[in-house]
Amino acid sequence: MRREKLKKTLRWIGISAAIGFILIQFVTPERTNPAFDQSLAIAAQAEFTPPISTMIKTSCFDCHSNETRWPWYSYIAPVSWLVADDVASGRRHLNYSEWGKYPKSKRVMKLAQIYEKVSRGEMPIKKYLLMHPDAQLSAADRDSILSWTERERDRLTEEK
Ligand code: HEC
């Protein structure tokens, strides 16, 4: 008798969870890639070698540019909400597609922040790397990015 009741309760929990999962799918976050002026993007504004440009594209662009590659799991709630939040917050903090819109002082500051985050291994975010192993930076990659931030900072501060 009691087993029957337990079974019934479990079935209801299962059905409610399934309905809940279906219902949250209707709450879709915006997955935008706003248009931007290519001439203001970092590729046109900064000086770097192709390997560094590729590293930044592969490891940072999904959250720090208007060229996000929205993955399949960004279509499934509740993960979609987390991904969209990361991208919105990432773009707010640093947007490589709008690099040229930053005044020089801000670009210099962002370069210092990139140095800090990359040298501490805090970027790319760990949970992102689980799904994007190709975005993992090796020690040598990190070193190249770090010395690039210094070169670019010097170039900007020496420029008239
Ligand atoms: C999965 C998304 C994601 C990826 C990939 C990613 N970031 Fe971030 N990044 C964020 C978020 C979210 C923030 C804001 C919250 C924080 O500071 O942790 C941030 C913050 C930053 C900041 C701080 C800016 C400030 O205003 O303090 C820098 C610098 C940065 N990221 C650099 C990078 C670099 C360089 C890469 C690539 C090597 C990278 N990020 C890859 C999501 C990401």
Atom of ligand 1 nearest to the CA of 114: 29
CA-to-CA separations, 142 to 94, 131, 148, in angstroms, rounded: 18, 20, 10
- Whether 146 contacts 88, CB under 8 Å: no
pLDDT of amino acid 1: 67
User: Confidence band (pLDDT; 50, 70, 90) for 2?
Assistant: confident
Per residue in 52-111, pLDDT (tens digit) is: 999 999 999 999 999 999 999 999 999 999 999 999 999 999 999 999 999 999 999 999
Atom of ligand 1 nearest to the CA of 55: 38
131 alpha carbon – ligand 1 mean position (Å): 16
Q: For tokens 């059905």, name the residue.
A: 15
Q: Judge if the beta carbon of residue 125 lies within 6 A of ligand 1.
A: yes
Q: Judge if the beta carbon of residue 123 lies within 6 A of ligand 1.
A: yes
CB burial readout 15-41, b (16+ within 10 A) else e: eeeeeeeeeeeeeebeeeeeebeeeeb
Query: How many CB atoms sit inside 10 A of residue 137's CB?
Result: 19
What is the percent of the chain where pLDDT is above 70? 99
Residue 128's closest CA among 85, 67, 76?
85
Per residue in 8-51, pLDDT (tens digit) is: 999 999 999 999 999 999 999 999 999 999 999 999 999 999 99
> Which of 57, 123, 127, 147 most suits a substitution to test ligand 1, by most atoms within 8 Å of the C-beta?
123
Q: Judge if the beta carbon of residue 64 lies within 6 A of ligand 1.
A: yes
User: Is it true that the peptide bond before 50 is cis, omega within 30 degrees of 0?
Assistant: no
pLDDT of amino acid 57: 97
Query: How many CB atoms sit inside 10 A of residue 110's CB?
Result: 21
Per residue in 123-136, pLDDT (tens digit) is: 999 999 999 999 99
Q: For tokens 């640093």, name the residue.
A: 94
Query: Which tokens is 146 given?
Result: 């770090």
